[in-house]
Amino acid sequence: MNELQAKQIAEALSGETWQSGGGIWLVLLRQGNSKLVVISDEIITDE
């Protein structure tokens, strides 16, 4: 996704954006239980 899309998604989900290099933008959602949800235009994962 591009920067604008990432910012819009992050705002809607109360998350934050992160640019991982090479023009790849991610949305990060921090969970209260020390989990991190990462959203890209291809995958959603939690760590």
- The pLDDT score that the predictor gives to residue 21 is 83
Domain spans of the chain? 3-46
Q: 2: phi > 0 → left, psi -120 to 50 → alpha, else beta; which?
A: beta
Q: What is the pTM of this model?
A: 0.80
Q: Which tens digit of pLDDT belongs to each residue from 1-47?
A: 999 999 999 999 999 999 988 889 999 999 888 889 999 888 777 66
Q: Which residues pair with 6 in a beta bridge?
A: none
Q: How long is the chain?
A: 47
- The pLDDT score that the predictor gives to residue 20 is 84
Alpha helices in 1-47 (DSSP H): 3-13
